[in-house]
Structure 1
Amino acid sequence: MGTWSTDILGNDSALDALADLAHSGFSFTGLAEELQEDYIDVSAGAAVLALIEVALAVRGLRELQQADAVEAGRAVLDDERAAWLLAQTDRVLAPNSEVYDLWLETSDESFREWRGKVDAAIEDLRGALGSAAPAGAMGGGSGD
């Protein structure tokens, strides 16, 4: 996973997803297709987590340096898509996910720090949506 830190946006794949979002090159339909694979590629897993951070920023719960991605997120990260992202975390944070596998290869301390940040972001977004129950499948629509 290229450059990385324990921050959710501290890796190249997450930053690539934000750049794609900011420059209209991001597709939720494409992401949904990638997430249906048996093994989730790092780019798809990191995109889910990065978009959760953007969804939080759109709702005023995070300040991100990537203002252009946040602005683009305002148009496409409605509550339905945010809930869909939350639903995807069950697979992104489990075996058969490259993001998870890469973090398992780090030190226990780094893994716990990263996982704590991810879990906090998930809980923050659940709280913002007012429900712990994620939405089901979602399709294209505007901002696909």
Structure 2
Amino acid sequence: MGTWSTDILGNDGALDTLGALADRQLSFTDLADELRGDYIESDAGAAVLALIEVALAARGLRELPQADAVEAARDVLDDERAAWLLEQTDRVLGAGSEVYELWQEASEQSLREWLGKVEASIEDLRQALGSAALVGAAGGGTGD
């Protein structure tokens, strides 16, 4: 099964995603294709959650040791893509998601710990995007 911990970045799929992002080889089109089916493979689910973490880091809300991935995220994880990632979380955390099924098979304590971290990151990114929208609405007219 590879490396797993209750940390969002504590699995091979997440780390592979950060490596691809750092190498500027991550394809959001390919990720979107992987998420279209009835069943979400573990690596695709882990990728969504990892990208939420790196989106938070790119906004200064997390510290991650993968500086290259964070730097690349500043170029490609704009608010629109971050919002898209948030839209995917219902499926990643539901029936038909291998990553969620694997955590359900783990101990109840591990599932709760992992899910708590995931839900906190989702909420943090929602808050960050909401704050960005408020700042944009309050401060930025087009000068018309």
Task: Show the counterpart of 1:109.
Answer: 109
Deviations 1:94-122 (A, max 9, x none): 01001000000000000000000000000
Task: Show the counterpart of 1:60.
Answer: 60
Q: Secondary structure at the match of 1:40?
A: coil
Considering fraction of residues, name the structure with more helix.
2
Matches within 5 A, 1:10-25: 10-25=10-25
Q: Secondary structure at the match of 1:24?
A: coil
What is the TM-score when the length of structure 2 is the normalising length? 0.89
Unaligned runs of 5+ in 2: 132-144
**Shift >6 Å, 4+ stretches:** none
Task: Show the counterpart of 2:43.
Answer: 43
Shift of 1:10: 0.4
Shift of 1:12: 0.5
Unaligned runs of 5+ in 1: 132-144
Matches of 1:94 and 1:54, distance apart in 2: 22
Name the count of aligned residue pairs. Answer: 131
Deviations 1:48-91 (A, max 9, x none): 00000000001100000100000000000000000000000000
Q: Secondary structure at the match of 1:47?
A: helix
What is the TM-score when the length of structure 1 is the normalising length? 0.89
Q: CA RMSD in A?
A: 0.8
* Structure 1 residue identity aligned to 2:64: L
Matches of 2:35 and 2:44, distance apart in 1: 7
Which structure is higher in RCO with an 8 Å CA cutoff and minimum separation 6? 1
